[in-house]
Amino acid sequence: MSFTELIFLGAALAMDAFAVAVCKGMIMQKPKVGNAAVIALFFGGFQALMPFIGWLLGKQFESAIKAFDHWIAFILLLILGGKMIYDAVRKDEESEKYKDTIDIKELFLLAVATSIDALAVGITLAFLSVSVPETVSVIGITTFIITFCGVYIGAKTGELLKDKAQIAGGAVLIIIGIKILIEHITTSV
C-alpha cells in the first residue's frame, strides 16, 4: 500500500470521527486549542489503536467481531446523540456548563464508537504485506488533523445555529449510528 493510499484510508476512516468532532465544536462556545487537541488525540489515538488491535487479533476472530461491531457503534451513538439532544432541550445550568468542558467518559465512548470500523480494517492488515507501524501512524495522524479541524469548523457552524447546534449535533450522532447499522445489515444480507 502506497503512502498516498494510506492517507486516503486514514481520511476515509476519519469521516465519522470528523462528523463527531464537528458536533463537539458546535456545542463549544469558543473552542480552545487544548480542547481541540484533546478531542483530536482521542479520535486519532483510537483510530490508530483499533487497526493495531485488529491486526493482532487477525483472521481467527474476524467473524465474531463483524457479528456485533455495528450494534455497539449504533447503541453508543444513539445514547450519546440522545443525551446531547436532551441536554439542549433541558437548558439548565449543567447543560450550559457542558458547553465549555470536555467529558472524558463521553469522549472515550465516542472515540470507540467511531473507530470500530478501523478494527475491521486492522484485521485485513494481518493478511496484507504492509508496515503496520507506518499504517497505524498514518491513520492516527490523519484522523488527528481532520478532527482537530472539525472542532473549529463545528464552532463556526455552531455560531450560526446558536441554540440549535447541540440538537443538530445530537441528531448527527444518531444519524451516523443508524448509517453504520444500515450499512452492516445491508452488506450482510
pLDDT, tens only, 28-63: 868 889 999 999 999 999 999 999 998 888 756 656
User: What confidence score (pLDDT) does residue 163 get?
Assistant: 60
Specify the pTM: 0.73
User: What confidence score (pLDDT) does residue 139 get?
Assistant: 94
User: What confidence score (pLDDT) does residue 5 get?
Assistant: 84
pLDDT beyond 60 at 101: yes
- In whole angstroms, what is the distance from residue 18 CA to residue 115 CA? 11
Report the chain's mean pLDDT, rounded to a whole number.
Answer: 81
- In whole angstroms, what is the distance from residue 12 CA to residue 21 CA? 15
Let me know: does 59 contact 125? Beta carbons within 8 Å: no
Q: How many CA atoms lie within 13 A of 176 on its CB side?
A: 30
Give Cβ neighbours of residue 105 (< 8 Å, ≥ 6 apart).
none
User: What confidence score (pLDDT) does residue 91 get?
Assistant: 61
> If you average pLDDT over each of 45-49, 62-66, 75-79, 181-185, which comes out highest?
45-49
Residue located via cell numbers 491486526: 55
User: What confidence score (pLDDT) does residue 100 get?
Assistant: 57
User: What confidence score (pLDDT) does residue 16 get?
Assistant: 84
- In whole angstroms, what is the distance from residue 152 CA to residue 34 CA? 12
